[in-house]
Every structure is written in C-alpha cells, then in structure tokens.
C-alpha cells in the first residue's frame, strides 16, 4: 500500500546522494562562491578590451575555462539540494541567491564572446589552427555569429538570465510545494496521494477502481492550479519569442533547434512519422491491455495498467545491482566500474520524500562524478529507469575523460540515445535468460510500457502538442489553460482514435511535464531511442565491434553533430529508415505480446 511521504529529514542517509563530493560543508560552498566573484572581476580586468591576437584568444579561453570549472560545482550543488526538497527554505534561498550571482557573473563575462566575434576571421582561424583544444568551441562560436547582438545588449540579456529562468522555478514551486493532494477513497477505504506516489505507483496500479479513482483525484488537484500553471508557461513562451525575434531567427522553432544542430525537416519527420505510423500498433496494445485486464472500456487512466500484475516482482536497490551489472557487462570493465562506484559512493538519490522533484534525471557536472535522482518504488520499472539514468552518467563519464568542458556536451537531439541504449541492453539481457512464456511476456510488456511507451509515445505526444503551442506563439499569439487543454486533448484523441476514451483530466497532462521549459526537448527522446534501437540490434548481431564503436561515440562528446555521431555508430539518421525500422520493431514486439497471451491462455485452458 502507498504510504504518506516522509519529510526529507527522516529519510535514511544511505538512500540519499552525497553532495559532500561537491562541497564538504556550507562554509566551503560560500567560500568558493566568494572566490568565484573575485576571480571573475580579476578576469574582466585582465582581458576586457585587450583581446586582439590569436595568442590572446587562446589565453582568454584558457582562463575562461578555469572560471567555468568554478561555476559548475556551485550551480550543481544549489540545484541538486533544492531538487530533493523544494520545501526546504534554506535550499530555496541558496538557489535563488546563486541565480542572482550567476546572472551578474554572466553579465560580467559576456564580453568574451562579443569580443571574440568582433575579431577577423583570419585571427580566429589562426587561433583554431594553434589550439586543437579550443578549435571546436571557436567553430561553434562562428556559427552563432549571425545571431549575436551588440555587446551591450548581450551584457544586459545576461544580467536578466535569472529572471528568464523564473517561470521554470515558479512551475516547480507550484507543482512540488503548493500542490497538496488529498487522500482518495475507494469502497470506504482511504488512500494517500502525492505527485510522486501517483506517477510512481497509482498510475500503474493493477486494481482498476483504485487506479481510476487516483487518476480522478490527481486530476482534480491539477485542475485547481491550471490557470496559474498556464500563465507561468505562457510567460516562458513569450520570453522565448522575444529572444528569438531579437536575435533574428525566422521562428521560435528555428531558434530552439539551432543549438541541437538539426534542421526542421528532422524535427517534423520525427513527430509526423511516429504519429501516423506508430498509432495503429499502440492501439493494438491498448486493446490487449483492455482484454487481459477485463476492462469495461479502455480509458486514458488505464494506459499504464500492467499486462500481468502477477509478474511484477518487487526489487530492492541492492537487488538491482545484479540486473544492472549483468545487463551492462557488455559495455566493458571501465563502464562497470563506474556503475559500481555509483552505488558505493552514493551518486544516486533513491529516497521518496515530500518536496522531491518528480521523475528522474542525471546531472553530470564536469570535474566530478554524475548524480542521479530517482524515487525508488521497488518495481521492475525502477531498474529500467536507473539503467536509463546510468546511460546518461556513462555518456558524460566517458565524454569528460576525453573532452574539455567546452566540448563534452552533445546536442540534445542525441542526448537520450545513450540512456535509452541502456534500457535496450537491460531488456535484451532479460529476454535472453528465460524461455518461460509468462516471464517473456512480462519482459516484453516492460519494454513496451516503460521504454517505448514512455519515450516513443508519452514524450512524442508531448512534442506534437508542443509543436502546436509554438505555432500559436510564432503567429504572435499567447496561450491560457483552455487553449492548452484543447490542444492536448486534440493530440491525444488523434493518436488513440476510438480505441481509448480520453476521459476528463487527460487534457491536463501538459501540466506534468517540466521538459516544456527546456526548449524542444520532448521529441528528442524518440530521436535518441531510434538511434539506440538500431545500435542495440548491432550489439546483438555483432557484439564487441558494435560496442567499441558505441564507446567511441560516447567519448566524442559534443565534438560532432547528431548525424555524425549516429554515423559513427552505424546509423544514418538523415534518412527515415532508422525511424521506420524502430516503429516496425515496436509493432513486432506488440505482435509477440498478443501471440504470447494466446499461448498462455491456451496453456491455462489445457491445465483445467
């Protein structure tokens, strides 16, 4: 049974991450923050107005990199501390103070980019030839040149950075602090409800009456905050529109895709092709769920119901080690050593507590180790989630060892490939270790419900909705709760057709996704999973050569475009073939589920 979440102070330390690897104490953090501000002032005095030669360029970037390395642990520390307990006043105020100081620092440092771009192409080219270390950074800077504004404008915009981030902060505060979910009742029995317990437990609860009642109660509370949340989101959108117009992009979409290093054709193809061609497969899966669970009708609230609740083992954090290690062993000893360290050195925050951010993420600060946030419920799904986040960790663990801080982060278009790759490795490992029909069905249903439903359906439908939102913003409009509800409902109805009843409350799912405050992020999950599905097939068929290619991709960090990284792994994402292959693979998995269900039912009849 789901229990009320404890306050953070009551959580066992072994379930939490160790932020002392960033700063041993609050005093150390404060001292580092003071040193940073002093060093930034000294840096500006040393270089501002004095960058003229190729040698100057290299010197300023060397010191700029050192400052960047000072900023990263400070920002990571404040962000991670508040993410595990947004009810903590001290963590909130620390995070706000760092945001203000960071904005001031950014404004002071804005001269670097502006002055570099004022130099002639010859000087920049000479610097690139003299320094392999900074050549990629300068190349990307030149690519950005056409969208840069006057140095004083850039300085002013940098000074306002914390204000630009305010909508996301307000969204999280509304979601994790102000929303207090009441208990819900089924057949006279009361059950506790929270954001974490709904998304971690009740949404996939086998008991239909409880699952639907939890969905209704959860949606009712969301509805209370729909107008505030919509206004918050619209503020974020208008800031993006203003920035896009100021910098001279043709649309907000072009502005947001620029840093992803992909064009609109790749963006639209991902959404359009999946919406059209995956829908029939997922409708078949929904019908199977309805049949196996004996549902009177299939509603949106039932889409995460388990296919076989009797095959959903409870897994402890300790037990997860064997699954993770066995599945990821093919990645080699160095990768497995990273996984072992993540457990031994408390890189992961497993706890469930009030005020903790929902979902899961991996933060990978350069110069130290990654940090993973997850709320461990004990379901097998948690193993897939942990493997996913360890995929991010393994990516940056490798990239940081082979690239400098400027070159380590790839395009967000590619960012979800290493994470979903690990999910595929877990799934393939489980499938190869049993011939039991029920176990195989459970594993495949886990792949569909966790890996593909979450990344290829949930996030893809968010992307389709997000595209409609930006069409309105680009046309000079704005959004409110009614508009957002209508857009979300329309996307869901188009995808699920008559197979699934989009019941009241489903339209409010736009309120649950923080990715909308991170640019065009939702569609990149399906892009990453397309790449990782193809690479996982290579690993199954070719073994070590495919793994070696993949490790080289991880080590390349951000030094290549998504298309180039994918090509290194043997996948050509400039065509629609990988995406169509992945959709066909999902369809094949669902056909296998239908077949296995028929065989299991036939065996059950014979046993009678």
State how many domains the chain has: 1
360 in a structural domain: no
CA angle 569, 364, 243 (to 5 degrees): 90
**pLDDT for position 312:** 73
Q: What is the domain extent for residue 159?
A: 8-164
Task: Tell me the CA end-to-end span of the chain in Å, nearest whole number.
Answer: 33
Residue 549 tokens read as 């290619």
Residues with pLDDT less than 70, the chain = 1-3
Q: Show contacts of 489-496: CB within 8 Å, 24+ apart.
A: 491/461, 491/464, 491/465, 492/300, 492/461, 494/275, 495/275, 495/279, 495/282, 495/457, 495/461, 495/464, 496/279, 496/282, 496/283, 496/286, 496/300
Residue 92 tokens read as 């909130």
Residue 152 tokens read as 């004083």
**pLDDT for position 3:** 65
**pLDDT for position 127:** 95
**pLDDT for position 433:** 80
**pLDDT for position 47:** 97
160 in a structural domain: yes
461 in a structural domain: no
252 in a structural domain: no
Q: What is the dihedral of CA 98, 196, 414, 232, to 10 degrees?
A: -60
Cβ proximity of 230 and 481 under 8 Å:
yes
What one-character DSSP code corresponds to residue 5? P
**pLDDT for position 302:** 96
Cβ proximity of 235 and 167 under 8 Å:
yes
User: SS3 of 305, please?
Assistant: coil
CA distance 262 to 444: 32
Q: By C-alpha distance, which of 114, 90, 104, 224 is closest to 158?
A: 104
**pLDDT for position 2:** 56
Q: Is 431 exposed, middle or buried (0-12, 13-18, 19+ CB in 10 A)?
A: middle
487 in a structural domain: no
CA distance 582 to 417: 13
576 in a structural domain: no
- Alpha carbon distances (Å) from 572 to 351, 452, 466, 564, 590: 40, 21, 26, 9, 25
99 in a structural domain: yes
CATH number at residue 69: 1.20.140.70
Beta strands in 168-237 (DSSP E): 184-186, 189-191
User: SS3 of 501, please?
Assistant: strand
539 in a structural domain: no
């Amino acid at each position: 049974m789901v229990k009320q979440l404890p306050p953070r102070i009551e959580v066992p330390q072994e379930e939490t991450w160790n932020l002392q690897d960033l700063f041993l104490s609050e005093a150390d953090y404060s001292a580092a923050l003071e040193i940073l501000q002093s060093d930034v002032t000294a840096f500006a005095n040393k270089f501002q107005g004095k960058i003229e030669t190729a040698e100057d360029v290299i010197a300023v970037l060397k010191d700029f990199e050192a400052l960047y390395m000072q900023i990263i642990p400070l920002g990571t520390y404040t962000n991670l501390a508040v993410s595990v307990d947004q009810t903590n006043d001290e963590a909130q105020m620390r995070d706000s103070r760092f945001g203000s100081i960071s904005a001031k620092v950014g404004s002071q440092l804005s001269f670097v980019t502006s002055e570099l771009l004022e130099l002639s192409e010859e000087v920049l080219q000479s610097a690139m030839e003299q320094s392999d270390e900074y050549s990629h950074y300068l190349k990307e800077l030149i690519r950005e040149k056409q969208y840069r504004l006057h140095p004083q404008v850039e300085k002013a915009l940098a000074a306002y950075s914390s204000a630009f981030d305010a909508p996301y902060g307000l969204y999280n505060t509304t979601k994790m602090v102000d929303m207090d979910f009441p208990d819900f009742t089924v057949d006279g029995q009361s059950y506790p409800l929270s954001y974490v317990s709904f998304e971690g437990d009740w949404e996939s609860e086998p008991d239909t009456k409880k699952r639907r009642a939890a969905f209704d109660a959860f949606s009712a509370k969301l509805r209370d905050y729909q107008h505030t949340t919509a206004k918050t989101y619209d503020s974020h959108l208008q800031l993006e529109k203003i920035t896009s117009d100021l910098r001279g992009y043709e649309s907000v979409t072009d502005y947001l895709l620029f840093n992803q290093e992909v064009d609109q054709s790749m963006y639209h193809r991902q959404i359009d092709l999946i919406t059209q061609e995956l829908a029939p497969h997922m409708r078949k899966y929904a019908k199977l769920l309805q049949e196996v669970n004996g549902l009177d009708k299939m509603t949106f609230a039932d889409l995460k119901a388990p296919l076989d609740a009797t095959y959903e083992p409870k897994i402890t954090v300790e037990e997860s080690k064997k699954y993770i290690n066995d599945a990821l062993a093919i990645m080699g000893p160095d990768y497995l050593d990273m996984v072992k360290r993540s457990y031994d050195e408390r890189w992961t925050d497993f706890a469930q507590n009030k005020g903790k951010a929902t979902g899961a993420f991996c933060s990978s600060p350069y110069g130290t180790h990654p940090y993973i946030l997850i709320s461990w419920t004990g379901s097998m799904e948690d193993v897939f989630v942990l493997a996913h986040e360890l995929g991010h960790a393994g990516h940056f663990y490798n990239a940081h060892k082979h690239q400098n801080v400027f070159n380590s982060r790839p395009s967000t278009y590619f960012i979800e490939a290493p994470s979903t790759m690990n999910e595929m490795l877990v799934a393939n490992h489980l499938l190869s270790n049993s011939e039991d029909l029920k176990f195989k069905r459970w594993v495949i249903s886990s792949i569909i419900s966790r890996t593909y439903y979450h990344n290829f359906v949930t996030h893809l439908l968010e992307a389709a909705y997000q595209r409609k939102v930006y069409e309105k913003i680009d046309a000079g409009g704005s959004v409110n709760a009614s508009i957002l509800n209508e857009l979300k409902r329309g996307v869901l109805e188009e995808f699920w057709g008559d197979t699934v009843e989009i019941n009241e409350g489903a339209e409010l799912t736009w309120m649950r996704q923080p990715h909308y405050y991170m640019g065009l992020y939702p569609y990149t999950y399906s892009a990453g999973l397309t790449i990782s599905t193809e690479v996982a097939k290579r690993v199954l068929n070719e073994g070590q050569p495919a793994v070696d290619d993949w490790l080289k991709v991880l080590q390349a960090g951000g030094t290549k475009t998504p298309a180039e990284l994918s090509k290194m792994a043997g996948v050509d994402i400039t065509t629609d073939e990988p995406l169509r292959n992945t959709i066909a693979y999902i369809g094949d998995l669902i056909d296998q589920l239908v077949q296995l269900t028929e065989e299991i039912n036939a065996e059950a009849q014979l046993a009678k």
